[in-house]
A and B are shown apart, each in its own frame.
Chain A
Amino acid sequence: MSLQGLKKRKSEVLISVSPMGWLFIFFVIPTFLVIAMAFRSADPYGGIGEQWTLNTLKDLRNPNYPLIIWRTVWLSIISTAICILTAIPAAYYISRIKKKYQDIILLFIIVPFWINFLIRIFAWKVFLHPEGMFKQLLVTLHISGPDSLLLYRPEAVLVVIVYSYLPFALLPIYASAEKFDFHLMEAAYDLGAGRLQAFIRVFIPGIRQGLLTAIIVVFIPALGSYVIPDIVGGPSAEMIGNKIAQRTFIDRNLPHASALSAILAFAVIIPSALALTRRFFKEKNSGSLGI
């Protein structure tokens, strides 16, 4: 390597030192502390005991947990899927209209963020409440029986997660779609593709980066949802986030909460690590072929 290359290398290292250090101190170390805590005994006053123990892991065999973890995973997967599938056509149409209308629509997407997240979730509770307007309307229209519940069930959690995270899915997909070269669609039609074929074979791969971002941005927060299931879910729609909060604040059993958090963290880290390594090897392979 030339001297100049080395110098460039050196400045790159210098520039990345501070963010890497920040990540290490405030992310990597705390994550390991959380995992380590899972192997400590709990002390009766809500602190962490002195001994190392595997008892907490044994406690995880609580028969409720598989059900709650399963519910957390499927709620997250389905809400992510709904967000993405709604956002793709929406982003497609927004990116096709005139720029000034695009800006107006984007503004409408962002407007709800001016209201506090908690208040918006609470508004849903009011909206879906048995005494609420929506429920009364359904009863009047004989769509819903007076005794059935809209609130406090997994479907309510699903609806509110989709409501909360749809903008987060829409924005990165729109950003990709807006940069997408729509001449490519014309090229696809020209080569014999129908509208749907062109959409699937050309548009979707063209916004791949936005889709990946959208999936990550929706799926990970959905897995860790706590406020939404707490307010509109109730005990029959608990997610793992609620359990972590319960262990921390009510049972004051930090090792147990840590163990649950570690499970959640691994549920995210393992698939991402797999995807990253696969991509790394794929790129390496295609590089060696593309001479």
Chain B
Amino acid sequence: MDDFLIFDGISKSFSNHKVLDNVSLTVKKGEIFSLLGPSGCGKTTLLRICAGLEEPDSGRIILNGEDITDLSPNKRQVNTVFQNYALFPNLSVFDNIAFGLRISGMKESGIKDEVYKYLEMIQLTDHARKKPDKLSGGQKQRVAIARALINKPKILLLDEPLAALDLKLRQRMLVDLDNIHDEVGITFLYVTHDQSEAMSLSDNIAVLNEGLVEQVGTPTQIYEAPRTSFVAAFIGDTNFFEGDVIEVNEPYSTLHIEDFTDVLVYNDKKIRKGDRVYLSIRPEKFTVTLQKPQLPESYNIVKGKVEEIIYLGYHTKYWVRVNEYLIETKRLHDRYMLDEKMITWGDEVWLSWHADYCYMLEQYNMEDEALLTLPDEEIMAEIESESGEDE
């Protein structure tokens, strides 16, 4: 597959505040490409530049080999699903979807067949005559998607399309969106701040932070091999460590981490003795046991004390104190024995993990640690989302 949409060195400032700083990205034909980042990272601005609603200060946009940077929005073969849907309130569902075709001067008889085709796709044929204010959020969303897709755009832009929906509906719409994408085969450019949305939907994700691209990759690459501390902290949870290389071997080297222990790590980056290295280890990579486990040499083992426990049904989170470090771990209950001795607050436990599970970061920024949620806040957030899922 060749490069279909190219952002080449896009920069944009709003009143001296740099929103996008020399952003270059390539989107392949037919894929779902997500722009993921916290609010204010410039992802929506990049999408609006692609739609032509915003002009870049510098840089080019190339769509299917054609430079569209200077085209006005109505001349671009690009359609947008807006965050607030932006359905025309005075027009019925039918007329909303027909809007683009009418503008293009299509015959009314042809419009009817075409609109009903899309109404069937979004399963709203019975609602054709309703005004948008009579529809539910999910229905409005589907109308907005049909209204954009009916113009057969080369690329469909989606600006936080699920942000206004509740959790349950969001999950169903995610499946619907995926099905629609499979059906029409149009390239999707998807903007979201929700990592789980991006992970479940995308072929490729670009993580943006303060106008810069932090990393581009598949969901697995981004989760398992974050390039920077920002990506590691923003996508899922993680634990950060800072250490010095004391011994270099193949394939595992040893780091000395102050206040922790000497850690065996896989050489996924080139390192030399004496280098300062930053590590990310995901909570689910740790194994928590009450007895010291007997493990091969390629495993790391450290002793700590359980400080906080959150039982979440399918898994439990433990925060384990090892000197200065409070380490977040996750344990799945795939073989939960009721007669098993439970790990409780204050227990001394052993944390073990394989050297392959440590991932070295190329860039590290102290401030990114603020993105990691502390246990107490975590409890509230988890309880909220869990109860939402149970409904």
Contacts and interface: CB of A to CB of B under 8 A. Distances in A.
B53 A190 contact: yes
Interface in B118-162: 126, 129-131, 134, 147-148, 151
Contact of B53 (A189, A205, A208): A189
Nearest to B84: A183
Contact of B72 (A181, A189, A202, A290): A189
Interface stretch (B32-40, B74-82, B183-191, B263-271): B74-82
Interface in A180-200: 181, 183-184, 186-194, 197
Contacts of B87: 187
Interface stretch (B12-20, B96-104, B203-211, B222-230): B96-104
Contact of B90 (A190, A208, A289): A208
Interface in A6-24: none
Contacts of B130: 290
Contact of A291 (B86, B100, B104, B126): B126
B46 to A, nearest CB: 16
Contact of A183 (B73, B79, B86): B86
A46 interface: no
Contacts of A191: 74, 79, 99-100, 103, 147-148, 151
A206 interface: yes
B88 interface: yes
A189 B131 contact: no
B129 A192 contact: no
Contacts of A286: 129
A286 B131 CA distance: 10
B90 A192 contact: no
A189 B148 CA distance: 12
B360 interface: no
A184 B88 contact: yes
A48 B91 CA distance: 55
A289 B73 contact: no
A206 B103 CA distance: 18
B52 interface: yes
A189 B73 contact: yes
A291 B134 CA distance: 10
Interface string A37-75: 000000000000000000000000000000000000000
A189 B52 contact: yes
Interface in A259-291: 286, 289-291
A202 B99 CA distance: 10
Contacts of B78: 190
Contacts of A197: 103
Contact of B80 (A184, A187, A201): A187
Contacts of B73: 186, 189-190
Main secondary structure of the interface of B (DSSP, over half): loop
Contacts of A186: 53, 73, 80, 82, 86
A193 B74 contact: yes
Interface of B: 51-53, 72-74, 78-80, 82, 84, 86-92, 99-100, 103-104, 126, 129-131, 134, 147-148, 151
Contacts of B147: 191
A263 to B, nearest CB: 36
Most chain A CB within 10 A, of B52, B74, B129, is at B74
A291 B130 CA distance: 8
10 contacts: A183-B86, A184-B88, A189-B53, A190-B51, A190-B78, A191-B74, A192-B103, A202-B88, A205-B88, A208-B90
Nearest to B100: A191
Question: Chain A contact residues (Cβ within 8 angstroms of B): what range?
Answer: 20 to 34
Given A187-B88, A188-B99, A290-B134, A194 B74 contact: yes
A192 B126 CA distance: 27
A289 B129 contact: yes
A13 to B, nearest CB: 28
A186 B54 CA distance: 10
A206 B88 CA distance: 8
B104 A192 contact: yes
A286 B100 CA distance: 23
Given A186-B53, A188-B99, A189-B72, A205 B79 contact: no
B49 to A, nearest CB: 13
Most chain B CB within 10 A, of A181, A190, A194, A205, is at A190
Contact of A206 (B72, B90, B99): B90
A181 B74 contact: no
A276 B365 CA distance: 67
Contacts of B92: 290
Contacts of B82: 183, 186-187
A205 B90 contact: yes
A282 B53 CA distance: 37
Contacts of A183: 82, 84, 86
Given A191-B147, A208-B90, 18 more contacts: A183-B86, A184-B88, A186-B53, A187-B86, A187-B88, A188-B88, A189-B52, A189-B53, A190-B51, A190-B80, A191-B99, A192-B103, A192-B151, A193-B74, A206-B89, A286-B129, A290-B92, A290-B130
Most chain A CB within 10 A, of B78, B103, B151, is at B103
Contacts of B134: 290
A291 B125 CA distance: 11
Contacts of A205: 88, 90-91
A192 B74 contact: yes
A192 B151 CA distance: 9
